[in-house]
Structure 1
Amino acid sequence: MRSNVSPGSEQSRAAFPRAFDRLDTTRVPRVPFPKEQNRIMTQHEYRIETLGIVGSGAMGLGIAQIAALGGLNVRLYDTNSKALAAVRDHLSETFTKLTAKGKLKEADAHAALARVRDAGDTGELSDCDAIIEAIVEDLDIKREVFRELEAVVGPHCILASNTSSLSITAIAAGCAHPERVTGFHFFNPVPLMRVVEVIEGLRGDPRAGDALMDLARRIGHTPVRAKDMPGFIVNHAGRGMNTEGLRVASEGVASFADIDRIMREQAGFRLGPFELLDLTALDVSHLVMKSIYHQFYEEPRFRPSPITGTRLAGGLIGRKAGEGFYRYVDGKAEVAPEPAAPTRLPTHVWISRASHAGRAQVLKLIAQCDCTVHIDTASTPGPDSLIVVTPLGLDATTSAVNEHLDATRVVAVDTLFPLDTVARRTIMTTPATTPAMRDAAHALFASDGVPVTVIRDSTGFVAQRVVATIVNIGCDIAQQGIATLEDIDLAVALGLGYPRGPLALGDALGAATILTILRNIHNALGDPRYRPSPWLARRAQLGLSLTHIEELR
């Protein structure tokens, strides 16, 4: 799931020495837009048979692999001959493994490798129909590289950038023909992450984007189209999981491991935020978080956390360094085992009526468990009853105060995801809850063998906060018209590995429920990061799907 914000090639400086030499002294001015030449070019239908790739790092290598297997002639450019030789060796080894597994015919493997040719200089890219740049994430360097490429390629060659964080419009502004400069953003590892974002700049020719959409399908990837906005679709939508997970951790609500367990086993995500950050590594992720935050002019939704800056400075960047939010031994994370759940059940349980749906879930769970627990049905809790509340977007303390309950006996349980279907449950205490009542609640909700995570008081538990933030940001992407609703969900599901895209996730849980969570958190904390998106608020209030599109004249 790793994005390619890190340099696409360690040899980028060697590949384009002129660009790096000028970096500190020259800002590339925008070339005046040649209207007549543009008119001629936009009438051309782009066809891609020969593909150039600039940069032989992980991204360039992955793109070369799928392009060659897709039947394209590939010209791979990097002035470091050893790097190019390593690419060919890696491709040969990869194709041999695929052949041995029966996934590739031997003749096809030889043909694919034969289609990859090294380019000794940029002049050998002159016959390319499209060139994909996969080098360092620096605007000045990319602009200079594209200017150098423009001098050697034909008038109808598409120049595509694999950037994950820079504006395509800004990159194109240094070119004589900005209409053919397009974003073509793959994800690492390219052969496995089969989604690619196609982005046109403000001066972009839609036909160039169309050609890249067709190319993506030809090489076995799913293309999605996005406007030129910070983070495009995937890195934009991905802010919800990581930034909110970090926010929860910074408040001392739960440990990194517990937050990950909750997001995996209760919310159904493949990875929790800290597992994901360790996989992508903070030398990549921290920079992405900062970049998107600043490109959106300090939008509170995307506010980074000092946690990642400190850990980056200390070298605790993730799995590839052997230590991040977890310590890794032989590539596996070391995670302390959870303590056994208490076994002493409460004798009496009083369940708040503030949420009819939440109360019904708790009653159903107790009825199904093999335990003798008396349900206190009085209007107010008896003197010995465990008090269970089921808030949405509120903390246990607020729930206790609002209902005039004895905070020493109050425990909240998260019912956003049905208690009888999840692989983990989450409960939280008030600062006043006694250990005896906390343990009794833990024993009750773990009585059927489902593990329970106990967290400190939090507005919106963990899953509610993170999931509502993910949905809310997805709704803002829709509100801004950055991509079609279908492409938003498709890009997030494929690019981030989420169980559903943000709009589909919001519909599954209920748009009104997500809106309630966000409004309650926003009112409680006063932090504008939780303000509901207009897209979400309007559809939730009208009872419409988050994928509903209004009809305009």
Structure 2
Amino acid sequence: MKNISVIGSGTMGNGIAHVFAQSGYKVSLVDISSDALEKALKTIGKNLDRLIAKEKITEETKQSTLQNLTTYTDLKEGVSNADLVVEAASENIDIKLSIFKQLDEFTPDHCILSSNTSSISITKIGAVTQRPEKVIGMHFMNPVPMMKLVEVINGYLTSKETTDAVVEMSKSIGKVPVPANDYAGFVANRILMPMINEAIISLQNGVAGVEEIDTIMKLGMAHPMGPLQLADFIGLDVCLSIMRVLQDGLGDDKYAPSPLLVNMVEAGILGVKSGEGFYDWVEGNNKALVVSKRFKS
């Protein structure tokens, strides 16, 4: 498999395109917005420059990586010769099912169709195609160029051949693939999201403030990042969506999202992407975060 198509050029999509292109694959990056594609290429360029500054790669590697990338706003054109598609569009089941119906029609018969979904059923996605045995989850972690894990999700009808191919492909781009089965939240988010949700409930109930909660988890549990800061990076809307998938899929009220989380999302407070979450996010220089007055204890 040499030709990779990545659907969606946001944070996850451009990161996935970056790592495949840097590893020598020909990558088609597809998005309905030409502006988003232009922004994605600039982001990839900046990330490559950071690697050069750290002496991780050379200027030649940067140039070859960029040469391996081609952008498309037409889905059919962008996937016409794909060996593997990685869908990284919005975490919305209707959008994903629509995309996979089109991918099934537009891609070659041998092409593996994968989704970077963090919670949506791979079995359900595969069911809208004529090749469910070739549909699989490739759940990359953010930031993609830095994080080693790829959670490989087997749908009910995913074949062993597909799983083996995706495992080997993940290794070839320097990742560590770990297989899991298709249950709500898979492994990563079934464990992570309830912890984040409980941290938000603790804040809501006045147990402690934002910095206090995050500091306790960092220093006491050896977490590199506190759960509230991590929620801001993930996106509070994404956290809410995953909690609702867990609640619906597992049928247990212990997965009910915090009312504070619901209210924040409804108010448009989404974390880094909106400039405010549990922290105020100030651009530039990776300076220390300032806790929002809204949530001080």
Name the counterpart of 2:10: 57
Partner AA of 1:211 in structure 2: A
Matched, 1:156 2:97: no
The 8 Å contact of residues 77 and 120 in structure 1, kept in 2 or not, is answered as yes
Distance 2:211 2:45 in 1: 40
Q: Does 1:273 align with 2:244?
A: no
Provide the residue aligned with 2:93 in structure 1.
139
One-letter identity of the residue aligned with 1:185: H
Residue of structure 2 aligned with 1:197, choices 151, 154, 163: 151
Asked whether 1:217 is paired with 2:185, we answer no
Deviation at 1:148, TM superposition (A): 1.7
Q: Which residue does 2:289 correspond to in 1?
A: 333
Q: Per-residue displacement from partner, 1:338-387 (whole Å, max 9, x unpaired)?
A: xxxxxxxxxxxxxxxxxxxxxxxxxxxxxxxxxxxxxxxxxxxxxxxxxx
Runs of 4+, deviation exceeding 6 Å? none
Select the structure of larger CA radius of gyration: 1
Tell me the amino acid that sits aligned with residue 81 of structure 1.
Answer: S
1:99 corresponding residue in structure 2: 52
Instruction: Please point out which of 30, 33, 54 is paired with 1:80.
Output: 33
Match of 1:288 among 216, 226, 242: 242
Deviation at 1:73, TM superposition (A): 1.1
Change (3 A) 1:137 1:214: same
1:113 aligns with 2:35: no
Please say if residues 5 and 78 of structure 2, whose CA atoms lie closer than 8 Å, have aligned partners that are also in contact: no
Write the deviation string for residues 368-422 of structure 1: whole angstroms up to 9, x where unpaired.
Answer: xxxxxxxxxxxxxxxxxxxxxxxxxxxxxxxxxxxxxxxxxxxxxxxxxxxxxxx
SS at match of 1:238: helix
Q: Structure 2: how far apart are the matches of 1:63 and 1:313?
A: 29
The 1-side partners of 2:204 and 2:113 are apart by 43
CA distance in 1, matches of 2:143, 2:196: 20
Could you tell me which residue of structure 2 aligns to residue 230 of structure 1?
184
* TM-score, with length taken from structure 2: 0.87
Q: CA deviation at 1:320?
A: 4.3
CA distance in structure 2 between the aligned counterparts of 1:260 and 1:124, rounded to whole angstroms: 42
- What is the CA deviation profile of residues 122-179 of structure 1, one whole-angstrom value per residue up to 9, with x for unaligned ones? 1352221111111122323322222222223222110111111210100111111111
Partners of 1:143 and 1:175 within 8 A in 2? no
* Alignment CA distance shift 1:272-1:110 (3 Å): closer
Unaligned runs of 5+ in 2: 293-297
Structural mapping, 1:277-316, within 5 Å: 277-297=231-251, 299-316=252-269
For residues 123-522 of structure 1, the aligned pairs below 5 Å read: 123-297=77-251, 299-328=252-281, 332-334=288-290
Q: Report if aligned partners of 2:193, 2:239 keep a CA contact under 8 Å in 1.
A: no
Which residue in the other structure is 1:538 paired with?
A: none
Give distance in 1, aligned partners of 2:281 and 2:91. 28
Contact preservation (8 Å) 1:119, 1:125: no
User: How much identity, in percent, do the aligned residues show?
Assistant: 36
Q: Distance in 2 between matches of 1:129 and 1:187?
A: 22
Calculate the TM-score normalised by the size of structure 1: 0.49
